[in-house]
Amino acid sequence: MKRMKWMMAAALGALGLSGAAGAADVRLGLNSSLGLGCQVVGVRAGVQEGRLGVHAQGAYCLSGVQGQSGGVAVGAAVSFDLFRSGGLTTYALAGADLLNGNAALHAGLGLRYGIPLIPVEGYVEAGVQRVSTVLQPIVGPRLALGVNYKVNVANLQGTLPARGPPWVKTPPHPPRLSAK
């Protein structure tokens, strides 16, 4: 859990220090995952400015044992956009999760597609996941797919315009009052 907090703090710090001056996107999504984890259905919330993004997610997990109820998985990840063309974006991501009490790390590549004027986008992620269990760590594949609702918000860096607003005009010379 301490690792996840550290990773989230580092990602938010990197977002603040990034040189990108674009507006931030807030993403709220639903997803499903296949892999060593127990995720059946989950929710994801994140923010992205420029090429760097961070998100947190929570999911419902099956126990894998007949007669036992499922549990909850929570996690966070950092992503970095590699290539953009139109509505298509490829990205790399790395993150940490807590799956039914077992710590897990994951990394991989993702593909996100959205139509520019519509605030909905779909994504698919593939990679590798390492789950630490009581007996030994287990490494295996990870596949996730989902849909996001994207909202564009103000610049996270809080930069101010270099000049005043365009509707305020200042005269080049002060007016002269002369008595003729």
pLDDT per position as a tens digit, 8-54: 444 444 444 444 445 788 999 988 877 665 667 889 999 999 899 99
pLDDT at position 77 is: 96
pLDDT > 60? residue 1: no
Rounded-to-integer distance, Cα 19 and Cα 46, Å: 19
pLDDT top residue among 105 and 8: 105
pLDDT tens profile 47-99: 999 899 999 999 887 766 677 777 888 999 999 999 999 899 999 999 999 88
> CB of 125 within 8 A of CB of 110?
yes
pLDDT at position 16 is: 45
pLDDT band at 7 (very low <50, low <70, confident <90, very high): very low
SS (H, E, C) the chain: CHHHHHHHHHHHHHHHHCCCCCCEEEEEEEEEEEECCCEEEEEEEEEEECCEEEEEEEEEECCCCCCCCCEEEEEEEEEEEEEEECCEEEEEEEEEEEECCEEEEEEEEEEEEECCCCCEEEEEEEEEEEEECCCCEEEEEEEEEEEEEEEEECCCCCCCCCCCCCCCCCCCCCCCCCCC
Rounded-to-integer distance, Cα 97 and Cα 1, Å: 8
- Count CB atoms within 10 A of the CB of residue 48: 24
Pairing of strands 71-85, 88-99: antiparallel
Which residue shows structure tokens 């790395």? 94
Q: Which two tokens stand for residue 116?
A: 């520019």
Give every CB contact of residue 140 below 8 A, 6+ residues apart in sequence. 35, 36, 128, 129, 131
pTM: 0.71
Domain 2-153 has CATH 2.40.160.20: yes
pLDDT at position 62 is: 72
